[in-house]
Amino acid sequence: AQKVTQAQTEISVVEKEDVTLDCVYETRDTTYYLFWYKQPPSGELVFLIRRNSFDEQNEISGRYSWNFQKSTSSFNFTITASQVVDSAVYFCALRPASGGSYIPTFGRGTSLIVHP
Partner 1 sequence: DGGITQSPKYLFRKEGQNVTLSCEQNLNHDAMYWYRQDPGQGLRLIYYSQIVNDFQKGDIAEGYSVSREKKESFPLTVTSAQKNPTAFYLCASSSPGQQFGKLFFGSGTQLSVL
Q: Interface residues with partner 1 (CB under 8 A)? A: 6, 9, 33, 35, 37, 42-47, 50, 91, 93, 95, 97, 101-104, 106-109
* Nearest distance in Å: CB 101, partner 1: 7
* Nearest distance in Å: CB 63, partner 1: 21
Q: Residue 43 or 99: which CB sits closer to partner 1?
A: 43
**Which residues in the chain belong to E strands, given as ranges?**
3-5, 10-14, 19-21, 24-26, 32-39, 46-52, 59-61, 64-69, 74-79, 88-96, 105-106, 110-115
Give the separation between CA 113 and CA 116, rounded to whole angstroms: 10
Q: Residue 85 or 103: which CB sits closer to partner 1?
A: 103
Q: What secondary structure letter does DSSP report for 15?
A: T
Q: Residue 17 or 49: which CB sits closer to partner 1?
A: 49
